[in-house]
Amino acid sequence: MTGNIAILGYGLSAIGPGVGIGLIFAAYINGVARQPEARGMLQSIAILGFALAEALAIFGLVLAFVFKA
């Protein structure tokens, strides 16, 4: 077996933000379905949550390249 364990680490670190983004937008859709007039406020919060969760995935990718042997 050959390869780099850092890439496996990135694959595992991408699971958390992927699940987090799914939960963020599931809650956003649920909130808009319950209160359509709150769409503007919920959308900005959902986009902020998406950006923070995606930053974790990018951070994991950077660490995979930093600790590459």
Q: What is the pLDDT of residues 44-58, one digit of tens each?
A: 999 999 999 899 888
The three-point CA angle 16-41-38 to 5° equals 110
Domain boundaries in the chain? 5-67
pLDDT band at 31 (very low <50, low <70, confident <90, very high): very high
pTM, to two decimals: 0.76
* Closest to 55 measured CA to CA, from 21, 4, 6, 9: 21
- May I ask the CATH architecture of the domain 5-67? Up-down Bundle (1.20)
Instruction: Report, in angstroms and rounded to the nearest whole number, the Rg of the chain calculated over CA atoms.
Output: 16
Q: Which residue has the tokens 């660490």?
A: 63
